[in-house]
């Protein structure tokens, strides 16, 4: 059993799509007792159904609220109480104590969690003592629950700590990246100030001299004008070299550029983009460049009437999809797509291209490298 955890984007939709719902399957152990009993009592089936329904409701509430909330009174205590009361009549209901231990490991501190594991073990022992279930079935349920309370609970604690460490590392990486960006901006500001202050002063002075020379010495005025042009070109080249590598693009800005570019070629555009998705700047820059390259290819070569762009994320990856209904084809990739593959590969991602029906370009980047 694993800890219910919120999806990467933290949205309700992402939580509803999580695989953690499959762990409700452990509740099938509860109706197994009346199902396999030769002559179940009349109350065994209603009890099993009530226990499963209540637990599923508590589990769903816990899952939708996310791992950040403390679920002592909304999940742990109710699950422990239901399990303790139901186990004397249905030994498999002890699985509720394991559910409670999993929630404990997901939300409480190590010290609090160990106390809860001990308390849940005591509750399971008390329920086994007063149980009406005959041996050895009673013993099997008690022993398995007592072991899993500690095993599952401690595993959840370890997994939660690893996730927290991963989040902290990602935060530190983002902070380092921000500080590096600020330092680079300050350097560029200093370089531009020194460069443009000197260059523009020289241009102004020569322009004034040229103006005075035009009526008296046209040849020298022409030479000064040529020098002004040379100084201006040198300054422009220096500015470009100074800012190279600093300016970053974003997916949002490239989406706006894509709308303008495709509208000019008569291609309609549909966009499915999660505004709440936060990406590391370096990854967003690469995805923005990928979007620019793909849209350029659609506008130039696809002969499409419609293009669709989608960007979403789940618990494992961030995925950008650009699809068109154009001519497709299996022509060799150009240098643009080759360079795109190399840049995405440095992020640990992959680029997939399909040209069977139109063209679909899918760029996938691992979540740990992309989201923040």
* Residue 114: burial class (beta carbons within 10 Å; 0-12, 13-18, 19+): middle
* 264 within domain boundaries: yes
Q: How far is CA 91 from CA 29, 84, 334, in A?
A: 9, 10, 65
Shortest CA distance to 109 belongs to which of 168, 58, 153?
A: 153
Q: What is the pLDDT of residue 67?
A: 61
Q: Are 289 and 277 in contact (CB under 8 A)?
A: no
Strand order across the beta sheet in which 317-324 lies: 268-273, 306-313, 317-324, 359-366, 350-354
Neighbours of 278 (CB within 10 A): 15
- Within this chain, do residues 286 and 346 fall inside the same structural domain, yes or no? yes
| Residue showing tokens 């279930």 | 133
Domain endpoint, select from 147, 174, 201: 174
Shortest CA distance to 23 belongs to which of 50, 5, 7?
A: 5
* 3 within domain boundaries: no
- Within this chain, do residues 69 and 141 fall inside the same structural domain, yes or no? yes
Q: What is the pLDDT of residue 149?
A: 86
Q: Round to whole Å and give the CA distance between 318 and 22.
A: 23
Q: What is the pLDDT of residue 364?
A: 93
Question: Which run of H or of E encompasses 308?
Answer: strand 306-313
- Within this chain, do residues 43 and 157 fall inside the same structural domain, yes or no? yes
* 5 within domain boundaries: no
- Within this chain, do residues 308 and 324 fall inside the same structural domain, yes or no? yes
Q: What range defines the domain where residue 322 resides?
A: 251-370
For the chain, the straight-line distance linking the first and the last C-alpha, in angstroms and rounded, comes to: 27
Phi, psi of 246 (to 5 degrees): -95, -45
Hey, what are 298's tokens?
């659609």
Q: What is the pLDDT of residue 64?
A: 73
- Within this chain, do residues 161 and 149 fall inside the same structural domain, yes or no? yes
Domain endpoint, select from 174, 195, 210: 174
Q: What is the pLDDT of residue 19?
A: 66
- Within this chain, do residues 136 and 285 fall inside the same structural domain, yes or no? no
* 91 within domain boundaries: yes
- Within this chain, do residues 45 and 126 fall inside the same structural domain, yes or no? yes
Convert 189-226 to b/e letters by CB count within 10 Å (16 or more is b). eeeeeebeeebeebbeebeeebeebeeeeeeebeebee
- Within this chain, do residues 290 and 169 fall inside the same structural domain, yes or no? no
- Within this chain, do residues 168 and 208 fall inside the same structural domain, yes or no? no
Structural domain total, the chain: 3
* 329 within domain boundaries: yes
Q: Round to whole Å and give the CA distance between 308 and 331.
A: 21
Q: What is the pLDDT of residue 328?
A: 74
Q: What is the pLDDT along the chain (372 residues), one digit of tens a residue?
A: 444 443 333 455 655 656 667 777 778 888 887 788 878 788 888 888 898 888 888 887 777 776 656 777 777 888 888 888 888 888 888 888 888 888 888 888 888 888 989 888 888 888 888 877 777 777 777 788 888 888 888 888 888 888 888 878 878 887 888 887 787 777 666 666 555 665 676 677 778 888 888 888 888 888 888 888 887 887 777 677 666 655 567 888 888 888 887 877 778 999 998 777 888 888 888 898 889 888 888 887 788 899 999 998 888 889 999 999 988 766 677 777 887 888 888 888 999 988 777 889 999 998 887 665
* 4 within domain boundaries: no
CATH number at residue 185: 1.20.5.1930
- Within this chain, do residues 208 and 158 fall inside the same structural domain, yes or no? no
Q: What is the pLDDT of residue 351?
A: 92
DSSP character string of 244-279: TTT----HHHHHHHHHHHHHHTT-EEEEEE-TT--B
- Within this chain, do residues 192 and 120 fall inside the same structural domain, yes or no? no
Domain endpoint, select from 229, 245, 261: 245
Hey, what are 256's tokens?
């706006």
CATH number at residue 259: 3.30.565.10
Shortest CA distance to 36 belongs to which of 107, 86, 92, 88?
A: 92
- Within this chain, do residues 25 and 156 fall inside the same structural domain, yes or no? yes
pTM, to two decimals: 0.46
């Amino acid at each position: 059993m694993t800890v219910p955890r919120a999806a990467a984007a933290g949205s309700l939709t992402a939580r509803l799509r999580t695989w953690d719902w499959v762990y409700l399957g452990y509740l099938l152990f509860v109706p197994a007792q009346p199902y396999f009993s030769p002559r179940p009592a009349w109350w065994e089936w209603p009890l099993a159904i009530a226990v499963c329904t209540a637990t599923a409701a508590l589990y769903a509430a816990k899952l939708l609220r996310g791992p950040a909330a403390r679920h002592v009174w909304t999940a742990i205590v109710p699950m422990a109480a239901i399990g303790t009361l139901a186990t004397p009549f249905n030994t498999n209901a002890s699985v509720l104590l394991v559910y409670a231990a999993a929630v404990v490991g997901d939300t409480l501190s190590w010290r609090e969690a160990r106390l809860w594991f001990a308390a849940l073990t005591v509750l399971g022992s008390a329920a086994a003592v007063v149980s009406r279930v005959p041996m050895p079935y009673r013993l099997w349920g008690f022993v398995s629950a007592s072991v899993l309370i500690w095993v599952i609970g401690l595993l959840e604690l370890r997994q939660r700590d690893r996730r927290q460490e991963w989040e902290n590392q990602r935060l530190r990486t983002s902070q380092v990246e921000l500080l590096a960006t600020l330092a680079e901006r300050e350097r560029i500001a200093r370089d531009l100030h020194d460069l443009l202050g000197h260059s523009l002063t020289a241009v102004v002075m020569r322009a004034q001299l040229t103006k005075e020379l035009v009526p008296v010495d046209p040849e020298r005025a022409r030479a000064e004008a040529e020098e002004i042009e040379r100084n201006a070109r040198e300054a422009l080249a220096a500015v470009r070299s100074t800012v190279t590598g600093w300016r970053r693009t974003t997916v949002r800005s490239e989406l706006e550029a894509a709308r303008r570019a495709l509208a000019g070629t008569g291609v309609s555009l549909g966009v499915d983009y999660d505004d709440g998705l936060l990406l590391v700047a370096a990854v967003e820059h690469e995805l923005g460049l990928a979007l620019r390259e793909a849209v350029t290819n659609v506008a130039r070569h696809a002969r499409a009437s419609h293009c669709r762009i989608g960007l979403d994320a789940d618990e494992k990856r961030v995925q950008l999809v650009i699809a068109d209904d154009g001519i497709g084809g299996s022509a060799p990739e150009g240098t643009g797509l080759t360079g795109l593959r190399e840049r995405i590969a440095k992020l640990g991602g992959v680029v997939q291209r399909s040209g069977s029906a139109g063209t679909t370009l899918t760029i996938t980047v691992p979540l740990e490298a992309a989201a923040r």
